[in-house]
């Protein structure tokens, strides 16, 4: 921030440091602002004459590349002016062509991360007028394929409405993103691939006896560099071709392209490694390079044919700001991560039950996927409003409820409860495919909808009893199944919503105890309804015990019983440390009390009937434990941790013998088991230290999340 003064108002020592063209200069106001900050108390604001609180809330965040308007507004030219000035020559040499390919890849990765299409991919002057590059077959075919891939990705994200997360992602700004004939771009790319392949063989001397040397025109003039440049161009062409196939197959309905996509992902990853290896060769030349952080090409040179400002006059909505593209290293890492995430998606079974699907989505989110793989996952699961693009949600719920054939499908499908359940379930699948912040926001609203659904459950029961289930011996059986499933899903949403808060760093350490305590309550309620549903289905349970006993044990152990033990141990541990005055975080601040924070955290859960709402009085009753000595509280916490360790050891043996669990689920379960083992062992050490401490020892305990995203690990230090 700076303050405007006239040159005459400045001290003599300062006047020489500032040039005053119009007798107005700018001086640094940081010392003044720093002094004001020292004088302000907590909660106070600086009130400027022309800057209100509303304007402060509406202001842009300075230094955020997606929000800061920036000051680089000079030098804006039109596309025609840029071409006339020689910024986009068509007859470029091979090193320059490779730089264009690399910089386009960096632009594409930056676009995937949420920057404007007009200032990333379409900052390429060649893409704005692709026909003029037709004389350069390599450049033309590559740019045309890039445009086709971007169009397919944009269409996929628009279809599933994932663009809500990144407002600028799907805006085309009237740019030539789609063109006739782009579907045949691979034929041109394949043709130049064959040409470069022959040149590579010629450079190795493999074709010297088959045709005269004059017919083998090299890519560039230096024979000693021919092989290296041929390999660099080939791996980039083949990566682009494989990536096109990946995107095209991921777009196919009902998962029909998953197998082919997996094969092309393997090819793309292999070619991407070759691209990485070519970096050393391309950077050998003694040229002027940009810094390691800023470079967007393997060679380190600035690519020709790009101007991020050219589209400011082409499309008015394009913001006049400067953006920072991903570096070359960041670009390669992004595409490797993207392909690995897509490979994980292709490994998913399309015959998962709803419970298995929800857990798979939660496990996939632990990889922290970016927008593009999450969009393709949502497209696979919810295309045409059907699960996996083929299963009507009413049929899915009919199988989930395990209703007998005597239930009239027409009556079942027309019931308002079933229709609403299908809509909310499919919407829950969509929400679980979004980023964590978006999930947390939407799950809060979705929880209230499931609460309303619980109240509507009696309608379906009455309808089925009178119309289709009158002959059943035990009518209460089906009521327990249907209502138990709805209650179970409501509890699952509650627990997942609370756990997301840890990943988003929404909780203060002083709130950990109440969060773990309420989480345990919701988890036990979920487990109760799950067991109730299974007891009402003896035939179904027997079938599971015969065929999938290990898989069921794995899901229950990690998802329910084992988490119950660690939640109990952590809540008891923190409550005991607080009572023993060894927990460093204050339970009360000048802004709000512990009771007010409890209401703020759990007000949403008070509005749903299941899990049963708990008040602050219940929480204080748990934390007080006045009739239980501190030593005994430490003992119970240690017992929970040791029981957890034994269960995890047994679970590891069961997981190793399982033949039904998928490789992805096996990896996630193994990783979580190891994480929980570390959490339990480290917390047991801290409990032993504080339990053995002498009365005069001044110990203080703090919590962090180095091992698991949800379950804290304690560390102790002596003051």
Query: Using CA atoms, how far apart are residues 141 and 172, in angstroms rounded to an integer?
Result: 21
Lowest mean pLDDT, pick from 72-86, 233-247, 647-661:
72-86
Q: pLDDT value at position 557?
A: 46
The token duo for 129 is 């007028």
CA angle 292, 298, 303 (to 5 degrees): 90
Q: What is the DSSP string of 316-367?
A: TTS------PPPHHHHHHHHHHHHHHHHHHHTS-S---HHHHHHHHHHHHTT
Query: Using CA atoms, how far apart are residues 329 and 496, in angstroms rounded to an integer?
Result: 35
Range from 106-110, 450-454, 468-472 that averages highest in pLDDT = 106-110
What is the C-alpha end-to-end distance of the chain, expressed in Å? Answer: 41
CA angle 258, 261, 266 (to 5 degrees): 130
Q: Where do the structural domains in the chain lie, given as residue ranges?
A: 2-58, 79-339, 535-719
DSSP H or E segment with residue 26? strand 24-28
Arithmetic mean of pLDDT, 41-46: 72
Arithmetic mean of pLDDT, 585-611: 84
pLDDT class for 63, splitting at 50, 70, 90? low
- Give the count of beta carbons closer than 10 Å to the beta carbon of residue 707: 18
Q: pLDDT value at position 3?
A: 46
Q: pLDDT value at position 44?
A: 74
Res 143 pLDDT > 50: yes
Arithmetic mean of pLDDT, 442-467: 79
Q: pLDDT value at position 213?
A: 45
Go through 164-202 and write b for each residue having 16 or more CB atoms within 10 A of its CB, e for each that does not: ebbebbbbbbebebeeeebeebbebbeebbeebebbbbb
Res 135 pLDDT > 90: yes
Res 305 pLDDT > 90: yes
Task: Please give the mean pLDDT across all residues of the chain.
Answer: 82
Lowest mean pLDDT, pick from 43-52, 107-116, 334-343, 578-587:
43-52
pLDDT by residue (tens digit) across 406-424?
665 665 666 678 889 999 9
Lowest mean pLDDT, pick from 83-92, 147-156, 272-281, 549-558:
549-558
3-class secondary structure, 27: strand
The token duo for 64 is 């955020």
Arithmetic mean of pLDDT, 45-58: 63
The token duo for 632 is 């005994």
For residue 614, give the nearest of 502, 498, 449 by alpha carbon. 498
Query: Using CA atoms, how far apart are residues 103 and 232, in angstroms rounded to an integer?
Result: 14
- Give the count of beta carbons closer than 10 Å to the beta carbon of residue 708: 17
Q: pLDDT value at position 6?
A: 47
Q: pLDDT value at position 546?
A: 41
pLDDT by residue (tens digit) across 257-298?
999 999 999 999 999 999 999 998 988 764 555 555 578 999
pLDDT class for 586, splitting at 50, 70, 90? low
Distance of CA 607 to the CA centre of its chain: 29
Q: pLDDT value at position 16?
A: 47
Lowest mean pLDDT, pick from 39-43, 59-63, 152-156, 389-393:
59-63
Q: What is the DSSP string of 142-179?
A: HHHHHHHHHHHHHHHHHHTTGGGSSTTTT--TT-----
Range from 67-76, 83-92, 405-414, 706-715 that averages highest in pLDDT = 706-715
pLDDT by residue (tens digit) across 222-263?
888 888 899 999 999 999 999 999 999 999 999 999 999 999
pLDDT by residue (tens digit) across 524-573?
999 888 887 776 654 444 444 444 444 444 445 455 778 899 999 999 99
Q: In this structure, what are the phi and psi dihedrals at residue 474, rounded to the nearest 5 degrees?
A: -120, 95
Residue 297 Ramachandran class (φ > 0 left, ψ -120 to 50 alpha, else beta):
beta
Res 299 pLDDT > 80: yes
Find residue 124's DSSP bridge partners. Answer: 306
3-class secondary structure, 84: helix
Per the model's pLDDT, the better-predicted residue between 693 and 402 turns out to be: 693
The token duo for 611 is 């899990």
- Give the count of beta carbons closer than 10 Å to the beta carbon of residue 709: 12
For residue 490, give the nearest of 610, 398, 601, 602 by alpha carbon. 610
Instruction: Compute the half-sphere exposure of residue 410: CA atoms within 13 Å on the CB side of its CA.
Output: 1
Res 1 pLDDT > 50: no
pLDDT class for 320, splitting at 50, 70, 90? low
Res 468 pLDDT > 80: no
Per the model's pLDDT, the better-predicted residue between 11 and 682 turns out to be: 682
Q: pLDDT value at position 94?
A: 93
pTM above the 0.75 mark? Answer: yes
Query: Using CA atoms, how far apart are residues 717 and 700, in angstroms rounded to an integer?
Result: 6
pLDDT class for 494, splitting at 50, 70, 90? very high
The token duo for 638 is 């240690």
Arithmetic mean of pLDDT, 388-417: 76
């Amino acid at each position: 921030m700076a303050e405007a003064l006239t040159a005459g108002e400045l001290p003599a020592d300062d006047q020489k440091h500032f040039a005053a063209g119009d007798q107005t200069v700018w001086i640094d106001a940081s010392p003044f602002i720093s002094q004001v900050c020292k004088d302000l108390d907590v909660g106070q604001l600086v009130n400027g004459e022309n800057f209100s609180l509303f304007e402060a809330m509406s202001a842009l965040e300075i230094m955020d590349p997606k929000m800061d308007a920036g000051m680089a507004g000079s030098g804006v030219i039109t596309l025609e002016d840029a071409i006339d000035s020689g910024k986009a020559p068509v007859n470029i040499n091979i090193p320059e062509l490779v730089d264009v390919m690399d910089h386009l890849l960096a632009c594409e990765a930056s676009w995937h991360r949420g920057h404007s299409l007009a200032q990333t991919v379409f900052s390429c002057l060649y893409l704005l007028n692709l026909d003029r590059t037709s004389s350069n077959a390599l450049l033309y075919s590559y740019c045309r394929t890039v445009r086709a891939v971007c169009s397919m990705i944009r269409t996929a994200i628009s279809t599933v409405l994932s663009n809500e997360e990144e407002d600028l992602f799907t805006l085309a700004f009237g740019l030539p993103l789609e063109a006739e004939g782009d579907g045949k771009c691979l034929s041109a790319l394949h043709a130049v691939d064959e040409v470069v392949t022959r040149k590579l063989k010629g450079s190795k001397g493999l074709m010297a006896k088959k045709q005269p040397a004059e017919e083998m025109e090299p890519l560039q003039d230096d024979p000693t560099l021919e092989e290296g440049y041929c390999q660099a161009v080939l791996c980039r062409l083949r990566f682009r071709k494989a990536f096109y196939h990946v995107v095209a197959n991921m777009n196919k309905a009902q998962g029909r392209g998953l197998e082919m996509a997996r094969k092309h992902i393997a090819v793309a990853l292999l070619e991407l490694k070759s691209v990485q290896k070519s970096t050393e060769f391309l950077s050998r030349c003694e040229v002027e390079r940009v810094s390691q952080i800023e470079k967007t090409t393997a060679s380190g040179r600035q690519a020709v044919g790009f101007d991020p400002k050219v589209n400011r006059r082409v499309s008015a909505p394009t913001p006049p700001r400067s953006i920072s593209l991903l570096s070359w290293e960041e670009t390669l890492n992004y595409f490797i991560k993207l392909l690995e995430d897509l490979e994980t998606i292709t490994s998913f079974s399309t015959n998962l039950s709803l419970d298995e699907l929800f857990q798979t989505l939660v496990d996939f989110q632990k990889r922290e996927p970016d927008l593009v793989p999450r969009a393709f996952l949502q497209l696979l699961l919810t295309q045409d409003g059907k699960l996996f693009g083929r299963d009507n949600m009413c049929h899915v719920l009919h199988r989930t409820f395990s209703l007998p054939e005597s239930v009239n499908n027409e009556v079942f499908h027309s019931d308002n409860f079933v229709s609403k359940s299908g809509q909310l379930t499919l919407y829950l699948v969509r929400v679980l495919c979004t980023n964590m912040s978006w999930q947390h926001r939407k799950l809060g609203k979705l929880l209230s909808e499931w609460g309303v659904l619980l109240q509507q459950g009696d309608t379906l029961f009455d309808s089925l009893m009178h119309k289709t289930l009158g002959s059943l011996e035990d009518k209460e059986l089906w009521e327990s199944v249907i209502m138990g499933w709805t209650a179970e899903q409501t509890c699952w949403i509650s627990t997942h919503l609370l756990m997301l808060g840890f990943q988003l760093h929404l909780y203060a350490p002083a709130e950990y105890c109440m969060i773990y305590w309420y989480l345990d309550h919701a988890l036990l309620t979920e487990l109760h309804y799950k067991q109730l549903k299974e007891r009402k289905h003896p035939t179904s349970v027997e079938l599971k015990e015969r065929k999938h006993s290990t898989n069921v044990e794995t899901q229950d152990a990690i998802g329910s019983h084992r988490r119950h033990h660690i939640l109990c141990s952590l809540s008891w541990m923190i409550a005991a440390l607080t009572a023993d005055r060894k927990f460093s975080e204050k339970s009360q601040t000048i802004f709000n009390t512990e009771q007010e924070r409890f209401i703020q955290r759990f007000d949403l859960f008070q509005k749903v009937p299941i899990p049963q709402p708990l008040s602050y009085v219940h929480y204080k009753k748990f934390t007080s434990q006045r009739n239980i000595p501190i030593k005994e509280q430490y003992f119970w916490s240690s017992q929970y941790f040791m029981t957890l360790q034994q269960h995890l050891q047994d679970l590891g043996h069961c997981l190793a013998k399982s033949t039904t669990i998928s490789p992805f689920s096996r990896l996630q379960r193994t990783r979580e088991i190891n994480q929980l083992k570390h959490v339990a062992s480290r917390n047991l050490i801290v409990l032993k230290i504080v339990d053995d401490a002498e009365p005069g020892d001044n110990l203080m305990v703090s919590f962090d999340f180095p091992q698991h995203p949800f379950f804290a690990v304690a560390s102790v230090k002596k003051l």
